[in-house]
Amino acid sequence: MAPDRASVATIPVHPRLRIIETSSELAACPITADELIERAVIVKASARPAATTAESMESVLPWLSVWYDHEYWRTGAWTCRVKSEGEFTGEMVPLLKFHTDMSRRPEPPAYTVIRSIAGDPQGGGASLLVHIDDAIRRLEELGEDALLRLLRTPRTLNVADGSKPTLPLLSHGGHTRVRIFDYHIATKGLHFDMSDHELRELDRFIDACHTWSDLIMQADLQAGDLIAFSNHTFLHGRTACLGTGRVTDIVLGNCADNGRNAGTHPE
């Protein structure tokens, strides 16, 4: 069973996390597309105050080509509000398990940005991230060869528009690339052609990731803070919301400098 927020230790300094607190830090070392493949970056509101999420994207990630290809993202940001127990309004009150965004698309957006508009008034709802390379290394250490084979096996992507491509959950060769979904809450059905046994194994992998506290980054974002990372190399989720009122803007995008695949790695 995946742990709740209390059982995951906050890691203020993590090798795959950079925190920018001032405008001078951001100016001296701007965030790049390649950096987000290897580590996540938190930008505190104090580093670049902005009235809107669109202003934040323009000033913090000027190279990001914002993604609009979904009804929730028509304005460039999906505003997720936690309102009441059990209600799905962008986010649910219980723990949100590790996943990647738009995994049902043949080519998911390369980057995810989460910007806090209002935090959980009771202190819950922290963002969680784990890098897929770290998770794979842990599986190898544990001798989980069968699980790794399952994750790397190409299978039909069921809900893709048009032709149904054959893709793995974990890519072969080069930099590992991941697409993981929580089929229990998937709004568009079962993303991949998987047996009941394979789905149980997928659950086991996701739940295991939640137990590896030494690999997990936990970000308690305050209003105006944002965290940016690669949607192709990081799994993300969040701890349980302890109250209502948490509001975040979710922005997806690709690197405008080199086209839709910039900053990603081939399958």
Residue type, 93: V
Mean predicted confidence (pLDDT) in 216-229: 96
pLDDT confidence bin for 245, thresholds 50/70/90: confident
pLDDT above 50 (res 260)? no
Amino acid 238: pLDDT: 93
What digits encode the pLDDT tens for the residues 79-108? 988 865 544 444 555 788 999 999 888 889
**pLDDT top residue among 96 and 113:** 113
Question: 3-state DSSP: the chain helix, strand, coil percent, rounded to 5?
Answer: 20, 25, 55
Amino acid 138: pLDDT: 97
Residue type, 200: R
- Is 104:188 a contact under the CB 8 Å cutoff? yes
For the ranges 42-56, 127-141, 183-197, 222-236, which has the lowest average pLDDT?
183-197
Amino acid 185: pLDDT: 77
Amino acid 12: pLDDT: 54
CATH level 2 (architecture), domain 14-252: 4-Layer Sandwich (3.60)
Mean predicted confidence (pLDDT) in 191-208: 94
Which residues partner with 114 through β-bridges? 227, 250
Amino acid 253: pLDDT: 97
Mean predicted confidence (pLDDT) in 65-80: 90
Structural domain spans, the chain: 14-252
**pLDDT top residue among 267 and 250:** 250
Amino acid 173: pLDDT: 53
Which distant-in-sequence residues (6+ apart) come within 8 Å of 55 by Cβ?
none
Amino acid 62: pLDDT: 96
The answer for 102, left when phi > 0, alpha when psi is -120 to 50, beta otherwise, is left
Among 232, 236, 240, 243, smallest CA distance to 216 is for 236
Amino acid 66: pLDDT: 96
Residue type, 160: A
| Mean predicted lDDT score pLDDT of the chain | 85
Residues in the chain: 267
pLDDT above 70 (res 30)? yes
Amino acid 37: pLDDT: 95
